[in-house]
A and B are shown apart, each in its own frame.
Chain A
């Protein structure tokens, strides 16, 4: 009797009864990503430096010492998106080249954890990027005071970052398995970023004028939010299919 029951009783002690829950897994993965970035400093310093250099380029290309309104919003958003592309390109490279995918797929965890942790990682990268790039922009190019514009700008940037992180993660996971990964990533991502530029730049431009700065129109924040939601759901639903191997 006891001999019959012994193996089933022994098994649960070897294997956990149920797989680890989603959010602790996401937390562990996020911690891993941030630790890797802290030790290698592969993405964020490059992205920040790229953004600052691009502002310098814009100064000479436009031959202006300060910009305002539409032009300022456009320069800020385009620069941030191009800098984000650098991070998107690097996002899965270590996982693809050094067996990160294999290790993750062998672990008995929900695959969505990979998606969520990568989105949060990219989001963190973007926040750090903007901590450098926005003050640098205000210092180098912006002709209007940054202070009054800050609350609206932060709200718009947060919504834009969410969209960039979601789309960037999906595109990065797709592009990393291709032969020309550095080429396909931006090609796939930029058209998908167009609505973010539309929403972000239109919402930001009334903030960045010297006289009577306005508030971002609710319409554009709503557009950004809906776009984030739509692509968040799509990417969440489709990401698993990119991991099967």
Chain B
């Protein structure tokens, strides 16, 4: 059985890669990318040609269709990162840590976008780049400052296993902090200032539709980018494992460079199954 598998190692490897979802990562990526492009095109055309101009703010108000979805997705991404981290601590599967890392990383990028678009909007409509009376913006900054320490924390812990564990603890704590912080900041301003920007409930139907389409399109963008990053990370670690094998097994493997990126090293040597282990057994028999 083993001899047979070794004889057809090449073909069984490719077959395994296709059949086993854990090895073939980029599946569905082209479809997802095309769907994202179409959705963004539709949402942008709705924003510019369908949604009516707002009476007071005029054209500037269109930034609402980018800013608010970005903020919602970033916050949901932060919370999702915490949920994935819970799964990581429960199963100890490094793939959950990788997902948590990618989701938080992408949310951080979306959060930068939110802060920039929010500042532009605030400058346009209120005349200041920063407005403390807008609780959503303020709590967003606090959440952003907290999550900005996620990468430095990972980078400062060398042992990959400990790094993933500590990062998960951080992700769960911070994920719970997001809603708690929003409530606290909202409380601190709600009594003094009326809410300037209400929820979608007081929007006219055409604006609400445009907003929801934008939200959907940017969510798709978020999902696509996450999937791209996951695929790239998995592929890179796979290539690294293959190169290690080419160089003559694990004994001569170079130490992992210090990095904030989760390590899938123990995954590629054990979790990926026959792809790596069969030839390793062959080389040891030799």
Q: Report the Cα distance A195→B180, complex, angstroms.
A: 8
A65 at the interface (CB under 8 A from B): no
Q: Which of A16-24, A90-98, A186-194 contacts B (4 or more CB under 8 A)?
A: A186-194
B81 to chain A, nearest CB (A): 15
B184 touches A234 (CB 8 A): no
Most buried by A among B89, B176, B183, B184: B184
Residues on the B chain within 8 Å of A188, using CB: 146, 149, 153, 170
Contact of B165 among A180, A227, A244 (CB under 8 A): A244
The verdict on A174 contacting B184 (CB below 8 Å), with A179-B158, A238-B169 known, is no
Tell me if A241 and B165 are in contact (CB < 8 A): yes
Q: Which residues of B from 170 to 199 have beta carbons under 8 Å from A?
A: 170, 172-173, 176-177, 180-181, 183-185, 187-188
Complex: A202 Cα to B192 Cα, angstroms: 13
7 contacts between A and B (CB under 8 A): A178-B153, A191-B177, A194-B184, A199-B184, A230-B180, A231-B180, A235-B173
Q: Report B-chain residues with C-beta under 8 Å of the C-beta of A170.
A: 169, 173
A174 engages B146 (CB within 8 Å)? no
Residue of B nearest to A227 (CB): B180
Interface residue total, chain A, C-beta cutoff 8 A: 31
**How far apart are A197's CB and chain B's nearest CB, in angstroms?**
9
Q: A238-B169, A241-B169 are in contact. Are A195 and B184 (CB under 8 A)?
A: yes
Interface size on B, residues (CB 8 A): 28
Does A198 have its Cβ within 8 Å of any Cβ on chain B? yes
CB of B60 within 8 A of chain A? Answer: no
Chain A interface residues toward B at CB < 8 A: 170, 174, 177-181, 183-184, 187-188, 190-192, 194-195, 198-199, 202, 219, 223, 227, 230-231, 234-235, 238, 241-242, 244-245
| Known A170-B169, A198-B185, A223-B187; further 17 A-B contacts with Cβ < 8 A | A178-B166, A179-B156, A180-B152, A183-B152, A184-B153, A188-B146, A188-B149, A191-B143, A191-B149, A198-B184, A199-B184, A227-B180, A231-B180, A234-B172, A238-B169, A241-B165, A241-B168
CB distance from A215 to the nearest CB of B (A): 17
Q: Which residue of B lies closest to A181 (CB)?
A: B156
Q: Is the CB of A242 within 8 A of B169?
A: yes
Q: CB-CB < 8 A to A180: which residues of B?
A: 152, 156
Q: Which residues on B sit within 8 Å (CB–CB) of A223? A: 183-184, 187
Q: Is the CB of B184 within 8 A of A191?
A: no
Contacts of A241 in B (CB 8 A): 89, 165, 168-169
Q: In the bound complex, do residue B152 and residue A184 qualify as a contact, i.e. CB atoms below 8 Å apart?
A: yes
| Majority-rule SS of B interface residues | helix
Q: Which of A174, A178, A183, A194 contacts B181 (CB 8 A)?
A: A194
A178 and B149 contact, CB distance less than 8 A = no
Output the least CB separation between B97 and chain A (Å).
12
Instruction: Give the contacting residue for A238; candidates B143, B153, B156, B173; CB below 8 A.
Output: B173
Query: Min CB distance, A208 to chain B, in Å?
Result: 18
Q: Does B162 sit within 8 A of A, measured CB to CB?
A: yes
Report how far A192 CA is from B181 CA in the complex, Å.
Answer: 8
Report if B145 contacts A (CB, 8 A): yes
CA distance A47 to B132 in the complex (A): 31
Taking a contact as CB atoms under 8 Å apart, the answer to whether A195 and B176 are in contact is no
Query: In angstroms, how far is the closest chain B Cβ from the Cβ of A138?
Result: 26
Indicate if B72 sits at the interface (CB-CB under 8 A).
no
Write out the residue numbers on chain A whose beta carbons fall within 8 Å of the beta carbon of B168.
241
**A219 and B142 contact, Cβ closer than 8 Å, known pairs A170-B173, A188-B170:** no
Give chain A nearest CB distance to B43 CB in angstroms: 32
Q: Cβ of A234 and Cβ of B158 under 8 Å apart?
A: no
Distance from A179 Cβ to chain B, minimum over Cβ atoms (Å): 4
Measured between C-beta atoms, what is the minimum distance from A204 to chain B in Å? 14
On chain B, the residues within 8 Å of A194 by CB distance are 142, 181, 184-185
